[in-house]
């Protein structure tokens, strides 16, 4: 294990990368599509085009205020690097990636695996960092399991690595028009993100549309998972993976960050991926609310201009 030192990572410039220009329908059209779908899945739903509130303020407390400017989705690595045995060498550095693809300054949010060489244990990463003027404001949290419970830590500014499978939304962090999504009282089976993603796929078919952003879930607990440390026993069936992952009901209010895309045009994309944290020291990979009649969401999502797939198997 010594070969994966405190500063090692795979250089982005040497990794395969595919870039796709994303389809960008008018935001007001997208708002109508989302509102129609959410209204069928929630007691109350409204979606409108609005200015982005200052996301650096409560309740979101992110590292930059807005989601605008050079909006980019990054899908790095692959789920196939996690099973049956984790590829511990699949370590990437977000500062290196941002620099290599010309994303500086940049505000990065999203979901993936955190830097195992830093924590010495597999962890969920709730990415939130701003790279600007050679400085880094790193509010990225990592969640791992200690004595069966979640431990949530913040990464230092110097630790900008991630691993194996990561989905990120990058922008200049500027104010720009976004979709404001409000919904309450889930009546359908779909989680909020699946509902939005399927609605966009149904409307725009094989056109690739990608969004990223953040939402606040209040009033309901959330089903989230945290992966234990990498398994020594090969995880060679979906059931083995399900048995390995630990599921939790985590408390509201929960702030989640991530991305979703309408379809996968053969790039091995993870079509939706959000991680959330709360102020009680809990965090993980978001599935859905667990008290649907109470669940109350407010989210801000921006549309991506381009998607980069990095290190596709």
User: Which residues here bind Zn ion, judged by CB under 5 A?
Assistant: 111, 285
Q: How far is the CB of 3 from Zn ion (least distance, A)?
A: 26
Residue 100 Rama label (left phi>0; alpha psi -120 to 50; beta): alpha
Closer to Zn ion by CB, 175 or 290: give it: 290
Backbone angles phi, psi at 171, to 5 degrees: -155, 180
Residue/partner pairs of 239-245 with CB below 8 Å, 24 or more apart: 241/83
Q: How far is the CB of 36 from Zn ion (least distance, A)?
A: 28
Q: Is 37 helix (H, G, I), strand (E, B) or coil?
A: helix
Q: How far is the CB of 312 from Zn ion (least distance, A)?
A: 18
C-beta separation of 225 from 38 below 8 A: no
Q: Which two tokens stand for residue 105?
A: 């300054």
167 pairs with which residues across the strands?
75, 111
Q: How far is the CB of 199 from Zn ion (least distance, A)?
A: 22
Q: Which of 153, 142, 175 is nearest to 67 (CA)?
A: 175
CB-neighbour burial class of residue 304 (10 A; exposed 0-12, middle 13-18, buried 19+): buried
Closer to Zn ion by CB, 90 or 184: give it: 90
276 pairs with which residues across the strands?
256, 284
| Residue of this chain nearest to Zn ion (CB atom) | 285
Closer to Zn ion by CB, 33 or 121: give it: 121
Closer to Zn ion by CB, 72 or 122: give it: 122
Q: How far is the CB of 159 from Zn ion (least distance, A)?
A: 19
Closer to Zn ion by CB, 100 or 140: give it: 140
């Amino acid at each position: 294990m010594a070969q994966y030192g405190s500063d090692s990572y795979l250089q982005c410039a040497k990794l395969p990368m595919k870039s796709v220009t994303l389809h960008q329908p008018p935001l007001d059209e997208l708002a109508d599509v989302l509102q129609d779908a959410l209204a069928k899945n929630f007691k109350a739903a409204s979606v409108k085009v609005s200015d982005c509130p200052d996301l650096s303020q409560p309740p979101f407390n992110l590292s930059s205020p807005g989601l605008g400017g050079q909006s980019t989705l990054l899908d790095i690595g692959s789920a196939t690097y996690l099973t049956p045995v984790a590829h511990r060498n699949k370590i990437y550095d977000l500062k290196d990636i941002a620099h290599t693809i010309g994303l500086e300054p940049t505000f990065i949010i999203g979901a993936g695996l955190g830097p195992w060489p830093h924590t010495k244990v597999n962890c969920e990463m709730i990415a939130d960092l701003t790279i600007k003027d050679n400085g880094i404001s790193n509010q990225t949290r990592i969640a791992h399991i200690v004595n069966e419970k979640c431990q949530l830590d913040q990464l230092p500014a110097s630790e900008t690595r991630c691993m194996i499978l990561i989905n990120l939304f990058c922008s200049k962090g500027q104010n720009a028009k976004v979709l404001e999504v409000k919904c309450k009282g889930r009546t359908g089976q779909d989680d909020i993100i699946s509902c939005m993603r399927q609605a966009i796929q149904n409307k725009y078919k094989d056109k690739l549309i990608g969004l990223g952003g953040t939402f606040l879930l209040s009033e309901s607990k959330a089903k989230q998972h945290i992966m234990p440390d990498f398994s020594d026993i090969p995880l060679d069936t979906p059931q083995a993976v399900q048995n390995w992952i630990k599921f939790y009901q985590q408390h509201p209010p929960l702030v989640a960050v991530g991305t979703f895309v309408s379809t996968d045009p053969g790039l091995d994309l993870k079509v939706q991926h959000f991680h959330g944290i709360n102020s009680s020291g809990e965090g993980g990979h978001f599935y859905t609310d667990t008290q649907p009649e109470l669940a109350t969401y407010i989210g801000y999502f921006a549309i991506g201009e381009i998607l980069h797939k990095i290190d596709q198997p």
